[in-house]
Chain A
């Protein structure tokens, strides 16, 4: 196979579904990837699993698969996704059942498991290289989830063995794209240059709309057409590692060297050392060539030998966050919001919280006082949050803000409150050899 085309069907769990359907319908794709796991997602999924509210996989799994499974079957497109979240096996079973209900024969679904290392971490945490001195040993009782970022090899193997759909839990985002490239071109797992190039392609595609002018527009400075109907991107990747990125005709947004540069540097640190499970990708010499309208070529990405360590994401219970908000407007709005803040602070002197934060939305909530000084808005929203040990204490915060209605300054409106579990996250490293992965296959019947 000389060239493959991989479409990006989602940039996060809650992303739009219709652009993925469009790609499946008329994108002439070989693979469709849904990247749906942010740093916080598995923790949330695990919390929901613990409370039995959800099944531990992505809440949009069924909606997405219902929308694309038939089209992908019809057009011979294979799907790779990390929508397994905290429960990849259950997600694979769900997809198999869904395919069966849709009357799709011979659909082979593979679950890649092994990223969940919670059990081994709680038994023996010596295998982890921990950071900041925050160790599992001291916080064993609070641990919620522990997942290693696994690489592309298991995904490629699942495809080698004929999977139509590959579902993972925590895998490195670019690995979802690198897997089908390793499978298609038989790239060796020590061909660092190719793995680096494939990682560049994956990194550019993983946020879907973001390379097509999503998260880019700044009216008057960067005007992007038709954002309400933005197209999701696809990559044409060649066996020699050549990368071109484009999108379908008659979709909104645009792909230019500027949108590609923003995405290439998105959430990376040292561009010469983008640490991945399979390779250290090197983007430091990359340059972008616009070869046609909405089509770019990516030159000179490369890679270096991998570290043999995987990043782990470990989350811990950390009490509860209580929050309350209320708005003031018109003449004296800021003075009334400040009075409301003073009242709340006086009411909350009982040491019920570990950490308190008060913002004035519209004035200083995003960047502090310094950058917005001198600015008196027409309306302002008081936002009070505290981190507390108990749910009862956290609920006090929102209740106190709400009680400003009848007891606080005049004209407060739109009070709102919430209480949610607080979580602490650490990211130690683990030797790759401690994280064996395996693949579980299941399929719908042959008719």
Chain B
């Protein structure tokens, strides 16, 4: 199973900081998100993009997590040389995170 099977994401930017929301399609999967989508695993999965830290906020009533990734946008929109300077596509990268089988990840 991968994250895309149980959740959807949207990402956006503020300066050089990106955020990715991770939202369970069904409320029953929220606990699985909390268990599996840890800051450590997100940082590892997105290590080519995120040069800073990953902070995670839990929003149980929405069945959602909000991940805040610092130094993730090569300096931010205006001066960045990156193709996706807004980090808009970062959420799509996270959706391939393996769920429930990360012993070999």
Query: Which A residues have a C-beta under 8 Å from some C-beta of B?
Result: 38-40, 43, 215-216, 218, 221-222, 258, 261-272, 283-288, 300, 315, 318, 321, 355, 357, 359, 361, 365-371, 383, 385-387, 422-425, 427
The answer to whether residues A371 and B59 also contact, given A366-B84, A425-B78 and a CB cut-off of 8 A, is no
Known contacts being A218-B8, A265-B59, A267-B12, is A367 close to B49, with CB within 8 Å?
Answer: yes
A-B contact list, 24 entries, CB within 8 Å: A39-B13, A39-B14, A39-B77, A221-B8, A222-B8, A258-B8, A258-B25, A262-B10, A263-B10, A264-B62, A265-B66, A268-B66, A269-B19, A272-B57, A283-B59, A287-B61, A321-B81, A366-B83, A367-B48, A367-B49, A383-B83, A424-B75, A425-B76, A427-B14
CB contacts (< 8 Å) of B89 on chain A: these are 366-367
The A-contacting residues of B in range 42-70, CB under 8 angstroms, are: 45-49, 55, 57, 59, 61-64, 66, 68
A267 to chain B: closest residue by CB: B12
**Contact yes or no, B47 A370, CB < 8 A:** yes
- Report chain A residues within 8 Å CB of B19: 265, 267-269
Quote the shortest CB–CB distance from A265 to chain B (angstroms): 4
CB neighbours of A261 from chain B (8 A): 21, 23, 62-64
B48 and A266 form a contact (CB under 8 A): no
Given contacts A265-B21, A269-B68, contact A40 B8 (CB under 8 A): no
Q: Judge whether B12 and A423 touch: CB under 8 Å.
A: no
Q: Smallest CB-CB separation from A299: which chain B residue?
A: B61
Rounded to whole Å, the gap between the CB of A13 and the closest CB of chain B is 14
Quick one: which of A263, A286, A386, A425 contacts B15, CB cutoff 8 A? A425
**Contact call B77/A318, Cβ cutoff below 8 A:** no
Contacts of A371 in B (CB 8 A): 45, 48, 93, 96
B25 CB to nearest A CB, Å: 7
A261-B62, A271-B59, A367-B48 known; A40+B78 contact, CB < 8 A: yes
Complex Cα gap A39–B17 (Å):
13
B18 to chain A, nearest CB (A): 9
Contact call A368/B12, Cβ cutoff below 8 A:
no
Query: A225 to nearest B CB, angstroms?
Result: 17
Say yes or no: A262 contacts B78, CB within 8 Å: no
B51 to chain A, nearest CB (A): 11
For the A-B complex with A39-B15, A221-B4, A425-B76 known, give 8 more contacts whose Cβ atoms are closer than 8 Å: A221-B8, A258-B23, A266-B12, A269-B17, A365-B84, A367-B46, A386-B81, A425-B79
Q: With a CB–CB cut-off of 8 A, which chain A residues contact B48?
A: 367-371
- Nearest-CB residue, chain B, relative to A222: B8
CB distance from A399 to the nearest CB of B (A): 18
| Contact A367/B93 with A266-B21, A287-B61 known, Cβ cut-off 8 Å | yes
Query: Is the CB of B32 closer than 8 A to any CB of chain A?
Result: no
Once the chains are docked, how many angstroms separate the CA of A83 from the CA of B4? 38
In the complex the two chains form, is A288's CB within 8 Å of B62's CB? yes
A361: chain B residues within 8 A (beta carbon): 83
Contact of B83 among A43, A267, A365, A424 (CB under 8 A): A365
Closest A residue, CB atoms, query B82: A357
Residue numbers in A under 8 Å from B78 (CB-CB): 39-40, 43, 315, 422-425
Determine the chain A residues whose CB is within 8 A of the CB of B81 once the complex forms. Answer: 321, 355, 357, 385-387
Residues of chain B contacted by A38 (CB below 8 angstroms): 77
CA distance A321 to B75 in the complex (A): 14
B4 proximity list for chain A (CB < 8 A): 221
Interface string of B77-105 (1 = CB under 8 A from A): 11101111000011001001000000000
Q: What is the bound-complex CA distance between A242 and B86, given in angstroms?
A: 33
